[in-house]
Amino acid sequence: MSDAWQRLVPKLEELSHLRAAGTLLSWDQAVLMPPKGAPARAGTLATIETIAHERLTDPELGDLIEALASDTTLDEGQAANVRVLKRDHFKALRLPPALVAELARARGVAYEAWTEARPASDFRILQPHLERLVSLKIEEADALGYEEERYDALLDHYEPGMTTRRVEELFGGLVEGLRPLVEDAIPPEAERPAWLEQPFEALQQDRLCRWLVSSIGFSFEGGRLDSSPHPFTSSIGPGDVRQTIRTQPNALLPSIYAALHETGHALYEQGIPDSFVGLPAGSAPSLGMHESQSRLWENLVGRRRSFTDFLLPHVKERFPAELGTVSPDEFHLGVNYPERTTIRIYADELTYNLHIAMRLEIELALFRNELDVADLPDAWDAGMEEHLGIRPRDDGDGVLQDVHWSMGLQGYFPTYTLGNIYSAAFYNKAEEELGGLDDDFHNGDVSRLLGWLREKIHSQAYLYQASELAEKVVGQQVSPEPLLEYLKEKYTSLT
């Protein structure tokens, strides 16, 4: 084994431990930490991120990376780790340590402001913190550098190799294809199925979700399921993958499909080989690729007729009074009921990507200096009316509904739609190679599909760039067409 590699391993382990500590503290902040702990937690996270940044920019680490970059004795996994580490190292070198620390502090404070602002439906509570955060993100993007525009540097955090130009091309074709489908499928006024909104006891919702995530392969020996204001999944380290959901007193489906969505993320993390976990290449190659797995389980599996037929008896078992008379047809329609909603996480598959397209337009305007943070509520409401034909009733249903901006995740939103595009292409390929998946789902058996995903995607970790991995799996460059065809077929049959 290479001497340089042996010297590199302890440094990788230390970086892994620092990142795990930061991830765990962030998870705790969202799930368990009392609100008054926010200022101290922001400082703690800033310290950890500063130390990690120092380790990542260590000149000795740079020397090892350069020595290993041309080492032909490395195996495929080692070479991938060096490639990813080199990318991270040179990006970190461009960021001043003071900026890294200030970003961590600003994120912590802004997140807590968001947890107060959203229930109060008052953007003014978040505004000064978000202004500071956006200013810092501009500094970050300019420090990192970019070829075409500032947003490229932010997008590259989550979609390495992707450009704003390419995202706008993909979104343009998708939105153009979605608009007529939305107009045909969603009448101006329609009555929602009555069973969708009624009291559903929170404890039973939680028990149902725990059964559901286990039934599709999530291991509770290597993970947790908790509650948080905004559902998310975190991988703390080997054998410790944590996901959260949120229950609502008068709705059942949001918790069910949040659980399926987050379990898609969690299955990916639990499927990465142990030999990679914690190393630079021990992750998904992009968040769009990660999102492809959550969207596949939530939508391509969870909302198809064969799966809803399997699911309904188990739901009725826990909510006999509420759903005892609901037929399989009614349940399937309710699960896929098309409607214009102001809330992204409750949007149907047909309108969901219009929510993301609107957010992309707003983010681009912010970082092209065409929009001020103070004007976000008005821009949000106007964008919602343009894309969805409706306006939010207040800031809580509008500009404050997502946690992402308060966490400094500008550049993140496009990954949701990229994930949807990947998911449809992957599911088509899985059905082509395996066949008979609907028969499996009728019986609650997802093992063949999960095995296929483990082999084709999860086990590959970050051996390849996302676009390269997708092309290897599908056999051609991925486009919006499979997603548009899937949505057209589904919503034509529903109406």
pLDDT band at 188 (very low <50, low <70, confident <90, very high): low
Supply the pLDDT for residue 278: 84
Decide if pLDDT at 96 tops 90. Answer: yes
Instruction: Verify that 111 and 172 share a domain, yes or no.
Output: no
Instruction: Verify that 319 and 438 share a domain, yes or no.
Output: yes
Decide if pLDDT at 416 tops 80. Answer: yes
Q: Give every CB contact of residue 89 below 8 A, 6+ residues apart in sequence.
A: 56, 57, 61, 62, 65
Decide if pLDDT at 251 tops 70. Answer: yes
Instruction: Verify that 137 and 172 share a domain, yes or no.
Output: no
Mean pLDDT of 41-57: 93
Q: Among 85, 117, 145, which residue terminates a domain?
A: 145
Does residue 345 lie within any of the structural domains? yes
The residue written with tokens 């599996």 in the block is 301
Closest to 415 measured CA to CA, from 237, 276, 293 = 293
Instruction: Verify that 261 and 353 share a domain, yes or no.
Output: yes
Mean pLDDT (the chain) is 95
Instruction: Verify that 452 and 306 share a domain, yes or no.
Output: yes
Q: Among 89, 115, 145, which residue terminates a domain?
A: 145
pLDDT tens sequence across 190-212: 678 989 989 999 999 999 999 99
How large a percentage of the chain has pLDDT more than 70? 99
How large a percentage of the chain has pLDDT more than 90? 91
Active site residue 262: yes
Instruction: Verify that 187 and 137 share a domain, yes or no.
Output: no
Mean pLDDT of 21-42: 94
The token pair at 277 is 């976990």
Does residue 158 lie within any of the structural domains? no
Supply the pLDDT for residue 190: 64
Supply the pLDDT for residue 1: 62
Does residue 150 lie within any of the structural domains? no
Instruction: Verify that 132 and 238 share a domain, yes or no.
Output: no
pLDDT band at 493 (very low <50, low <70, confident <90, very high): confident
Does residue 487 lie within any of the structural domains? yes
Mean pLDDT of 176-188: 87
* Cβ–Cβ under 8 Å, residues 243 and 263: yes
* Cβ–Cβ under 8 Å, residues 286 and 239: no
* Cβ–Cβ under 8 Å, residues 158 and 288: yes
Instruction: Verify that 172 and 55 share a domain, yes or no.
Output: no
Does residue 471 lie within any of the structural domains? yes
d(CA 286, CA 158): 6
Task: Write the DSSP string, 290-308.
Answer: HHHHHHIIIIIITTSHHHH
Closest to 445 measured CA to CA, from 264, 258, 217, 253 = 217
Q: Which domain holds residue 262?
A: 164-494
Does residue 428 lie within any of the structural domains? yes
Q: Give every CB contact of residue 381 below 8 A, 6+ residues apart in sequence.
A: 391, 392, 398, 399
Domain count, the chain: 2
Decide if pLDDT at 495 tops 70. Answer: no
CATH code (residue 481): 1.10.1370.30
pLDDT tens sequence across 340-361: 999 998 899 999 999 999 999 9
Catalytic residue among 102, 140, 262, 269: 262
Instruction: Verify that 240 and 354 share a domain, yes or no.
Output: yes
Instruction: Verify that 205 and 350 share a domain, yes or no.
Output: yes
d(CA 492, CA 495): 5
Instruction: Verify that 205 and 106 share a domain, yes or no.
Output: no
Instruction: Verify that 274 and 362 share a domain, yes or no.
Output: yes
